[in-house]
Amino acid sequence: MTTTASYALDLEDFLAATVPMRTEEPTTLTILCRKLSGHPLPTDEKDHHSFLTPMLVQTSCHSSDALQQLTNYFTEQTRGNRNKPQTEQLRRHWGYVLLNLSRVSLQHRWLLVSLGRSSYQQDYWLRRYELSYRQITDIVDFLEANDLIVKKKGGKFNSGATYTRIHPTFVLKQHLWQFYLDAEQPIEGPYITINKGTDAAKEVIYNLPADHPERMQMELINDFLRGHTWACKGPVRLTYNTDIVGGGRLVTPYQSLPDRRIRLRIRTLIDDQPICEVDYNANHLRLNLALLHNQHAGDTPYEDICDIAGFEHSRRTQVKAFITRALGSGNNTLLQGSQDSREKAMRACNSTGMSNKVFETIEHATLKRFPKLGLYKGWGLHAQNLEGQILKDVMLEGIKEDIVCLPVHDAMAVQQQHQGWAREVMLETWQEHLDGVGTKVKVDLP
C-alpha cells in the first residue's frame, strides 16, 4: 500500500493552479476555499448529506486535463488484477467519487456511499447509475488507508438503507477545488422524483405515463437546458416529499452553490454571460396570506414587523428566520398550530442564536401586523410545493423566448440582459397562481 507521505509527494504535480471556468471573479472561489480549509468537519445530519451521483467534466473545461491525470493516478494505484474493461469501470467510478468529493468539500457536506453489497442490487439509484459494490469499496478503502478522507461508518436512514459518510481531508481537497464549478451531472431522467414516500407513492411517481403533463413539462425544460452552460450543471428535477398532493419543489445542483457568507453563485455565468437573480420578496409569508386569505402582504412585510417590534431594519434577517421556522413548523396540515409546533420553532430559532425573548417579541409583532398568518401549521412544505409550480411555469415561459432560467429556491437566475423580462414574467405568473393577488420581486446583482 502506498504511504501517505509518498502519495502526497506524488500529487504535487496535480496541485490545483488554474482558475475554474465560468466565474466572473475567480478570487471568490479562492477565498471560499481558504475559509473552508480551517473549518471543522460538517455537521453529520440530513441537511449536510449528499448522495453519490454520476458527474463529468467536459473536455473543453480548463480543469479536464487535471481531472484525467488525477483519475489515472488513482486508477493505477487500485487496479489490482482487473482486466481492461474492469479497469475502465474502476476509472469511471474514480471520476464520480473525486467529483462528488469536490462538490461536498465546497458545500461543506458529507458524501453518502453504500458499503453494503445488497444495496447495489436493491437501491433504485445505485442500479440506475450502474454503480458497483467492489469498485466503491476499493476506492473508499484506498482513500481511508491513505488518510485522504474522514469516514463515518453506517447510519440507518428513513429508507432503511445504511450509508457510510466520507469527507475529504485537506491533502485531497486542495486538488479537488478546481473541479467544483466545472463538474456537471448528465441531464437525464427521471425528472420527477420522491424523497420518502410509500412504495405505492414511489411506484406512481417513477411510472408516470409518457403523456403525463408534468412529465412532459420537465422533459421539455431539461431538453432545453441540455444545450446551455452554467456552473454545477445538472438536471432540474421536480421532487415530491411523501406524496403527489400539492405538487413538488424544483431541485438542481446549482442551488447549492455558496452565496451567503461568500458571494460565489451570483458571480457565475450562464452561457458565458453575467447573471442576476430575481427574488420573490418574503415569498412564503406572501403565499400564505394570498392563498388562504386573498390578502396582499404590502410592500415591506419584514420591515413592518421590525417597526412594530422596535427593531432596526437591519434586523430583518432575524424576522425572516422567525417567519421561515414558524411557518414551517407543524404537522403539515392547515389546522390550528399546536404548542409543540411553537416550541419546535423556538428551538430552531434558538439554534441560530435567537433568544426566547427576541422570538416572543417577533412573534407578537408578526401577529399584530398579520393576524391571519398561519404560524406553526406546517405551511413550509405547502409553500415549497406552490413555489415549485410557479417557478416551473416561469421556466416554461423562458423556453418560448430562448431564455435560460435556473431555479434558486424562491428566485430565478437569468442573464443580466433578461432581468426586465424575468421581473415581468415572475410577477404575472405569481398573480395567475394566486387569483390576482400581487407580490414583489427584487433583483440581486454581483
> pLDDT tens digits for 19-46?
333 444 445 667 677 766 667 888 888 8
pLDDT of residue 14: 41
State phi, psi for 209 to the nearest 5 degrees.
Answer: -65, 155
What pLDDT was estimated at residue 360?
96
Q: Which backbone phi and psi does 276 adopt, to 5 degrees? A: -135, 165
Whole-number Å distance between alpha carbons of 74 and 91: 8
What's the rounded Cα separation, in Å, for the pair 423 and 280?
A: 9
List every span in the chain annotated with CATH 3.30.70: 192-281+381-444
First-residue to last-residue Cα distance in the chain: 47
**Alpha-carbon dihedral sign for residues 98, 103, 108, 111:** negative
Per residue in 119-141, pLDDT tens? 898 888 899 899 999 999 999 99
From the DSSP assignment, how many helices (H) and strands (E) are in the chain?
17, 12
- Chain-centroid distance, C-alpha 158: 20
Residue 296, number of CB atoms within 10 A of its CB: 16
Which regions of the chain are under pLDDT 50? 1-9, 11-26, 159, 333-335
Residue 271 has which C-alpha cell? Answer: 452561457
CA distances from 356 to 306, 350, 353, 359 (A): 16, 7, 10, 5
Task: Report how far residue 89's alpha carbon sits from residue 128's, in angstroms, rounded to the nearest whole number.
Answer: 15
Fold of the 192-281+381-444 domain: Alpha-Beta Plaits (3.30.70)
Total-model pTM: 0.84
Alpha helices by DSSP H, listed for 38-155, are 64-78, 84-107, 119-122, 124-128, 133-145
| Backbone phi and psi for residue 238, each to the nearest 5 degrees, phi listed first | -95, 110
- The rounded distance, in Å, linking the Cα atoms of 134 and 115 is 9
Residue 349: exposed, middle, or buried by beta-carbon count in 10 A (0-12, 13-18, 19+)? buried
Tracing cell 493516478 back to the chain, one arrives at 73
Q: Residue ranges of the alpha helices (H) in 146-198?
A: 170-176
Tell me, what's the pLDDT at 195? Answer: 78
Model pLDDT, residue 84: 96
Q: Which pLDDT belongs to residue 161?
A: 52
Structure confidence at residue 187 (pLDDT): 95
**What does the pLDDT read at residue 155?**
60
pLDDT at 362: 97
Q: Which amino acid is at 311?
A: F
32: closest CA among 257, 273, 352? 257
